[in-house]
Structure 1
Amino acid sequence: MTADHSLFAADLVVTGTVTGRGRLDVDGRVEGDVSVKFLSVNRDGTLTGNARADDALLSGSLVGTIRANKVTVARSGRLSGLVEYEVLGIEPGGLFEAECRPTTAPALETGRRAATAGAEPAAPGRARRLAPGPA
């Protein structure tokens, strides 16, 4: 792992607030709030709480609220709660039981400009814009 890439191993349980400017891979369990640039909840990982990220890939389980510019629920992923997103993708087989709120506001204060409204074509294996944010 590098200084901007962290891994919470399968046998790790983290309770509390996690913040960082890089990537976080969760193979274990997080109970609390997470704020990182890229969040990956892997197949056996779980996050219960609130998450903020520029980009989030959910192959495991997230129960709570997530605010991200781009959220992808993989076929093994489960999302339950509230999702605020700019771009949302759900692969076939992914479990999605969430209230949706499209937004064009950046999830994190990274100086990144919000994407323009309008549909984007989906590249193979990538999420696509399902709904533009509010005007």
Structure 2
Amino acid sequence: PDSRVEKTALRTLDVGIGLDDPESYPAVAGVLELAQDLDLAVNWYALPARQQHHRPDSERQDRAARHRRYRLENRHRDQRRYLQRADGDCASRIRALLTQHGIALREGEVAADWAGYASLDGYVGSPVFRLGEETFVGRQHLPLIRARLP
């Protein structure tokens, strides 16, 4: 296989932004910086709104599922606590920030394999990055994504 083809394929980063997720907002600047530094094409997608967290029967959960549920519940508690002090709508602020930078969200073009992220057991955040066949959830992965790019 021609390595130039593989490198070209990895020069595009798909970024799914959860407009209902306050953690999407600070991730935008990091993605823009990464794209500028590495001359990277970015496809921005609006992830479906997160479903209300459901409480599955705890007797049937294994340890890993229980811990995912605990992390998700803690995250929701933190968001509720911090959002009480927020003035305004998170989604409209994220949209305004993206528009300010000339970024058009592809809301109607969410690929089928992205659509399930909002309902996955253990889904705890956005943005979601797709680099080739790899998926990363959370802005803390930007340094790793930078290192993986050719």
Choose 1 or 2 for highest CA Rg.
2
What TM-score, normalized by structure 2, do the two folds share? 0.22
Q: Name the one with the larger strand percent.
A: 1
What TM-score, normalized by structure 1, do the two folds share? 0.24
Q: Name the one with the larger helix percent.
A: 2
